[in-house]
Amino acid sequence: MKTKIFIVFIGIVTIMSCNSKNTGVPEGEEHEEQSPEGVVMLNEKQRDALNLKLGVFQMRNLTTVVKTNGQLEVPPSSTANITPIIGGNVKEIKVFHGDKVTKGQELVVLEHPDYIVLQENFAEIANNLEYLEQEYLRQKELFENNVGSGQEYQLAKSEFNTAKAKYEGLKSRLQMVHLSPEEVKDGKISSTISIVSPINGFVNDINIKVGTYVDSKDIIFEIADNNSIHADFMIYEKDVHLLKEGQKVHFTVSNRPEEELTGTVFAIGKEFEASSRALHIHAKINDKTSNLISGMYISGHLHTDEKYTRTLPNDAIVTEGTKSFIFILDNEAIGEHGRDESEQAGHDEDDKSQLDEENHKGHAHGDDDDNDGEENIMAFRMIEVITGLKDDGYTEIHLINSLPENTQVVMNAAYYLLADMKKEETEHEH
């Protein structure tokens, strides 16, 4: 009676095992037979479900990454604080805040009586200069021919040179306020002057109103050329030794965190900020992009010294505690697995015969499916490694024990292989 109950129990377990094999669940499928320690056995269906990829170690240039932040800045050569050369009253403002302007474009019109006085003085000197020049040449000729006195020659020369210097000075002042000296000499006097933009850019600030008086020291406009914007980063003292011009930096702008931009370091500061002990570095933005505004907050990482080393994709590495592991193809483990099965075959022959008979009756129709599930088994052994630099989705790998050249490594899904192996070990402990 006990023998019959035992036979029925074994048959039920065998039926459950067959059903488990035919469920077709590729991930988390229970292993019916124990794998060697530290090895995961996967059939073709399971590998396909994980989209398992094999490859070899790759030699790549990895860089040390330094995290940094800062803000967008416009260089001094592309910004302008505009003041009037000569004070005056605001008559007309030609631009609005945020307007795009070009070099030489009129920004504001000023008026003042001093502009008229300046032009009158120039016209007077210009008209008198021709007479003084003629008198100087006449006295020079007389002096050289020993006809005129030296005193009269020296006086004529002094008056001419003084008038000429004053003429050139007044001419320059007219040109600075964008008045034409030639028109003034012809008698065209204007009570207004125009202030124009010295650069291309955008009007960031307007500090005047119509009718107000502005002095020569007052900043009336601020203009910046955002096309010359660059990234200004802060690097702390501990990382300064890693800096070099020409290094690459990847960063994002606060208002568009999903878009990563790249830059190249072109200048490194030579003085620490007293409060933060950080150094400024400046990077040219390599990407062509719009709507970047000076003062925007940026966050990124700087790539410093390069290192040519053995690497694997990050997905090929799994950590457990403080240790790191990878999985390699190990065909020898399949043979070990077969030998273990032979050693464990210790069932009673009579019970085995009766069990085979029961299985033949109840599961003959499922033999082909079982074979399909067992075909093309591959074994993957977990080995410990030491990781190093990480960059652009790859991690530096140091082997504790050497491996044959062209060893096949699992390039992805290492986490799932570890979970499957731990699940199998837990089941066998029970």
Using pLDDT thresholds of 50, 70 and 90, give the confidence band for residue 144: confident
Does residue 371 have a pLDDT over 90? Answer: no
Cα(245)–Cα(223) distance, integer angstroms:
29
Across 146-155, 239-248, 256-265, least confident range: 146-155
Using pLDDT thresholds of 50, 70 and 90, give the confidence band for residue 277: confident
Across 6-20, 248-262, 395-409, least confident range: 6-20
Does residue 160 have a pLDDT over 50? Answer: yes
- For domain 65-76+225-305, the CATH class is mainly beta
* Average pLDDT estimate for 228-257: 88
The CATH number that domain 79-219 falls under is 2.40.50.100
Strand 58-73, strand 297-313: pairing: antiparallel
In DSSP terms, 232 is beta-bridged to 71, 282
DSSP state string for 192-213: EEEEE-SSSEEEEEE---TT-E
Comparison of pLDDT for 383 and 276, the residue scoring more: 383
Domain residue ranges in the chain = 26-60+310-362+372-429, 65-76+225-305, 79-219
One CATH from 3.30.2350.10, 3.40.50.2300, 2.40.420.20, 1.10.10.60 for 26-60+310-362+372-429: 2.40.420.20
Please enumerate in sequence order all residues whose Cβ is within 8 A of that of 315, keeping only pairs 6 or more positions apart, or say none.
411, 412, 413, 414, 415
* Average pLDDT estimate for 346-353: 47
Cα(59)–Cα(310) distance, integer angstroms:
5
Comparison of pLDDT for 307 and 57, the residue scoring more: 57
At residue 401, the 3 state secondary structure works out as: coil
CA trace torsion 395, 400, 406, 412 (10° rounding): -40
Does residue 84 have a pLDDT over 80? Answer: yes
Does residue 426 have a pLDDT over 70? Answer: no
Cα(133)–Cα(161) distance, integer angstroms:
9
Which of 286, 282, 290 lies closest to 227 in space, CA to CA?
290
Cα(185)–Cα(220) distance, integer angstroms:
31
Give per-residue pLDDT as tens, 182-231.
999 888 999 999 999 999 999 999 999 999 999 989 999 999 988 889 99
Token pair belonging to 49: 């479900």
Instruction: Write down the mean pLDDT value for the chain.
Output: 80
Q: Supply the pTM of this predicted model.
A: 0.54
Please enumerate in sequence order all residues whose Cβ is within 8 A of that of 392, keeping only pairs 6 or more positions apart, or say none.
62
